[in-house]
Structure 1
Amino acid sequence: MTAEVHPSVTPDGPVAVLANPSAGRGRHRGLLAPLLSRLATGGRPVRLLEAHTADEAEAVCRDAVADGVAALVAVGGDGTMHRGIQAVAGTTIPFGPVPAGTGNDFAADTGFPTDPLAAAEVMAAALRDGRSSPVDLARMTGPTGPPRWYGAVLAAGFDAIVNERANRMSWPRGPRRYDLAIMVELARLRPRRYKLRLDGEPHEVDAVLVAVGNCPSYGGGMRICPDADPTDGLLDVVVGGRLDRRTLIRVKPSIYQGTHLRHPLVHSYRVRTVELAAEGITTYADGERSLELPLTVSAVPGALRLLR
């Protein structure tokens, strides 16, 4: 996938850096100093933002953009990217996603190197040359509250339910909590009635899996929307229908290759806007807890300028 690259005039100011030291279970913590040094070769001062919670991270990014920065760089996984995107979506401030988390789907699907230092070098070169490239974002609106943005995938089915279950559990810690949540929700698996409007066309389906992708991947390389392209101005909606437990277990591994679309109960649509409603679903966007259904998701072409 490619995006047209344009020179972009950035304001005088520093490069603001949001870093999540716990991303990727802390395995990249020692890379922060060399990352900042690489970014500094872009010719702008580098300012490290301080935040202790996800909400604080989002707030300090918004404040930095309001104060005037040359660019915003997020160091972490998709959740860290998600927080930074809220501050720069729809602006001309370039954004750099340095992949240093457990899941780095947005950075990978938009063409950045998987090595954090190599990604920082790409961003430094873009700063020196004064260039950025546009990509699309997805814009979510619910019945109340302000709109939210995401870059990768919105989960609104089984995977969202598993995430919600895992987040309510205090035991066990680490990945085992997610594994246990999967077991519990598989035992409770049942199709739900979804009401969708795809570019205004109504659909009612019974489904266990629903995802809306601006990019192909979520969950650390699961290509749930394998044909999604963040430069085409469209969203890919993937619906897994009345899959029983055994079938879902068989289909799930094929998501890593994107071959699940071959299953007769899995359908994919390409739209500009999707309205999505179902009972009892809290969605997860870029792996982060997001809006409850119902909501509307729209593709916004060129809503984000990437530092590359």
Structure 2
Amino acid sequence: MKFTAEELARHPDFLLSIRHLAGTLRGMFQAGPRLARLLTSHQRWLLTQTAYALAMQYDPGDPSSGFSAVSLTTLITQHKVASRNTVLNFIEELFTYRFIAHAPGEERRRPRHFEPTEVSNQAMYGWLLANLAALDMLDGGDRAGCLQAHPELLRIAQPLVARSCLEDVAWREPPAPIALFLWTEAGGLVVDHLMARIDLSGADTERFDVGRVETRNLAGDFMMSRTHLQRLFAKAAQQGCLGWRDEPKKTQLWISRDFVREYCGWQAVKFAYVEQAFHFARATLKGVPAKVPAEA
């Protein structure tokens, strides 16, 4: 089955899939915090996905292709995601922590081309696998199993997802309540944490219970300042996105159903592009069956 964004947003189990994905991404952060932080704000998500996509499309015979400071800066500034200096600082960070390396023979050439290191390849594979597994929950599909059997699908599918998300304003510019979190450092981690913990069994028609949240511990886990996290929660509370059931202690958190509904609608945009890219890659790559046998 191929889902559209509209179908995903309406699917009765989509929230369950999103909660599952949020929990998986939370686990990925715990396994590799420094690398996972590349996806913890929307700006860095767009930078990371675009850089990886450029690297996957590198043609040694075409100097303008691939991931270089010039190519990434051009795309990112064209869509007003970040400034040139932000892009250059981002690349320097990737190189310093060995998430990227110079492409062989490119050390002294201009522009220098970069390629992801193995740890980055594994992280991007894990991200795509988690998204495909979340889609499989909706229709009993075999997307994740297919990727596991044919990991080379990543090279075809990921650039399609990245380019589509970058070019679509509906994903590039999240709704205001979502943007409040995602345009801030580590804000994506906070949303994933809340989404992974929402209680879907509650009868409240306006709120989901999240449970006990200690801002000091949460801020420490996500390597962000407690003050920054408290201000983020305060702004979100002013907008009615979340609140505390035990004022003034502020330990028992709830999140509004309107916020969750809007978040699901926004996530559906990305999931639809993942869906399209996967089916295109599966149909394009030779040797990949239309459906992977169950025992695979």
The TM-score normalised by the length of structure 1 is: 0.27
Higher relative strand content: 1
Using CA pairs under 8 Å that are at least 6 residues apart, name the structure with larger relative contact order, 1 or 2. 2
The TM-score normalised by the length of structure 2 is: 0.27
Higher relative helix content: 2
